[in-house]
């Protein structure tokens, strides 16, 4: 006698296949679309904030050169200003290229990769100012403000952990080295102030990241930079 089409022997043949119901497939697709939309929104917001970060760094660099006028030969601050503005220009160029397709994930991801590298270069350029832009009698307080203020501006405007830390790390290293190697007055103390201030900026970035549930370091950006 033939078995019924829906006999128990067949109903448990392949539980995994039965689990793939149209409803579960639709939910999986919906979750994927949600993740893609969230990533696109986060990267678009990052793109929009880049103009503010570039403008803030340019203004801070110009102010530093004007305030340091007379303390250093004009050639060295001018070289430093060119280095920093090169990084700012790279940010502006990447922004201008990507803003033409502000909601396309491919260009936005490429922009995030480029911006991460640009932030590291600009951090080295800014940190070089401890050698090129500040006078030989720079106080520990002035050096600390110089090395901590720009990373704080970058973190507040970009609101992306990897990019902010990529800028912060070379600034902190070069600022501390300059305090000891130039040497500046009270070099070891100045180096300690620089490292403490930059550590506070880094800690604030991580704290805000946890407090805002990934607002400073979106999971989408973390996956992109880890890829």
Question: Does residue 140 sit within a domain?
Answer: yes
Q: What is the DSSP string of 17-31?
A: HHH--HHHHHHHHHH
Q: Model-level pTM greater than 0.85?
A: no
In the chain, what percentage of residues exceed pLDDT 90? 50
Task: Answer whether residue 16 is part of any domain.
Answer: no
Residue 112 belongs to some domain of the structure = yes
End-to-end CA distance of the chain: 59
List pLDDT tens digits, range 126-181.
999 999 999 888 999 999 999 999 999 999 998 888 999 999 999 999 999 999 99
- Angle between helix 140-158 and 22-67 (nearest 10): 150
Q: At what angle do helices 187-211 and 140-158 cross, to 10 degrees?
A: 20
Q: Give the residue among 12, 151, 125, 137 at the shortest CA–CA distance from 72.
A: 137
Residue 116 located in a structural domain: yes
Q: Would you say residue 18 lies in a domain?
A: no
Provide φ and ψ at 193, rounded to 5°: -60, -45
168 inside domain: yes
Give the SS3 label for residue 93: helix
Q: How many CB atoms lie within 10 A of CB 168?
A: 26
| Residue 96: inside a domain | yes
Domain of residue 128: give its range: 46-226
What ranges make up the beta strands (E) of 43-162?
Answer: none
pLDDT at 59 over 90: yes
Distance CA(26)–CA(221), nearest Å, equals 26
**Residues 1-48 pLDDT 10s:** 444 444 444 444 454 444 446 656 765 565 555 455 566 777 778 888
What domain count does the chain have? Answer: 1
- 155-50-225-36 Cα dihedral, nearest 10 degrees: 120
Say how far apart CA 47 and CA 220 lie, in whole Å: 14
pLDDT in tens, 104-127: 777 888 998 999 999 999 999 999
Q: Are 175 and 138 in contact (CB under 8 A)?
A: no
- Return the closest-CA partner of residue 64 out of 135, 159, 118, 140: 135
Residue 202 is assigned to a structural domain of this protein: yes
């Amino acid at each position: 006698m033939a078995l019924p089409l829906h006999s128990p022997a067949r109903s448990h043949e392949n539980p995994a296949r039965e689990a793939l119901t149209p409803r579960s497939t639709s939910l999986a697709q919906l979750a994927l679309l949600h993740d893609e939309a969230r990533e696109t929104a986060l990267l678009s917001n990052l793109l929009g904030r880049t103009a503010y970060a570039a403008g803030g760094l340019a203004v801070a660099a110009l102010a530093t050169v004007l305030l340091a006028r007379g303390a250093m030969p004009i050639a060295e601050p001018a070289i430093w200003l060119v280095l920093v503005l090169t990084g700012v220009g790279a940010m502006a160029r990447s922004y201008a290229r990507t803003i033409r397709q502000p909601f396309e994930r491919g260009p936005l991801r490429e922009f995030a990769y480029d911006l991460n590298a640009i932030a590291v270069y600009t951090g080295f350029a800014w940190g070089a100012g401890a050698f090129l832009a500040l006078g030989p009698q720079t106080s520990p307080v002035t050096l600390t403000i110089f090395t901590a203020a720009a990373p704080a501006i970058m973190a507040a405007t970009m609101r992306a952990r990897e990019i902010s830390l990529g800028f912060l790390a070379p600034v902190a290293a070069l600022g501390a080295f300059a305090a000891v190697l130039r040497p500046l007055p009270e070099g070891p103390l100045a180096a300690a102030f620089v490292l403490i201030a930059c550590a506070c900026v880094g800690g604030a970035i991580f704290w805000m990241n946890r407090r805002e549930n990934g607002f400073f370091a979106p999971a989408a950006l973390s996956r992109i930079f880890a890829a």
